[in-house]
Amino acid sequence: MEICFHYRDVEGQQKMLATLTRLMSRSGEQVILCIGTDRSAGDCLGPLVGTLLQEEYPKAVVYGTLAKPVHALNLEETWRKIRTLHPAALVVAVDASLGRQDMVEHIIMQEGPLKPGAGVEKNLPAVGDVTIKGVVNVNGFMPHFLLQNTRLHVTYSLARVIAGVLAQALIGARCLIPVVGGSV
């Protein structure tokens, strides 16, 4: 399953919401892992999503915010902590991505783990059960430079949509989780 859409595409947002709600309602717990740093306009997508999500839905279990980012230096430790404290949780991993010119400003959601740092040639562990990537800039020579020189407007616009959809899905999933002995 892959859902890919421009962040302004309401139909794409609705597909992502329906899919996330369905996936989340199947698990008793959901964890949102937002990867990135607050020191880069392009790579702050994850921490922005985490912060906006906590503001919109304080009951969300979020790792990675602007105040406490999850990045290359603490990702492995955070992933171990999540697996220890939330062993059965559905983990949704969120990160910024670089891509083709026609994919900038797109959100991509896939079932399966996220491989963070691949675009900047970092060898980090794959994390999560569901991946959400926001394409913040074009891929090319010197990817760190491209992330540093990404327009904050693009990153923020993607983050608002992702955080909003995640909040709605978490709320919707809580309403759909079956009562013991019941079914959905």
For the chain, the average pLDDT equals 90
- Tokens representing residue 141 in the block: 């020579």
**Residue-wise pLDDT tens digits, 111-163:** 999 998 766 667 889 999 999 999 998 886 666 667 777 889 999 999 999 99
Dihedral sign for Cα 46, 12, 128, 21, please.
Answer: positive
What is the C-alpha to C-alpha distance for residues 135 and 95, in angstroms, rounded to an integer? 9
% the chain with pLDDT above 70:
89
Beta strands in 64-171 (DSSP E): 90-99, 106-111, 130-138
Least confident of 81-85, 103-107, 159-163, 180-184: 180-184
Domains and CATH numbers, the chain: 2-176 (3.40.50)
Q: Please identify which residue in the block is written with the tokens 């994919």.
A: 103
The CB density around residue 159, as the number of other CB atoms within 10 Å, is 28
What is the C-alpha to C-alpha distance for residues 177 and 25, in angstroms, rounded to an integer? 5
Which residue in 17, 52, 55, 12 sits closest to 34, CA to CA? Answer: 52
Q: What average pLDDT score do residues 64-72 get?
A: 96
Q: What is the pTM of this model?
A: 0.91
Q: What average pLDDT score do residues 34-44 get?
A: 92
Q: What average pLDDT score do residues 10-16 get?
A: 97
The pLDDT of residue 180 is above 60: no
What is the C-alpha to C-alpha distance for residues 79 and 98, in angstroms, rounded to an integer? 23
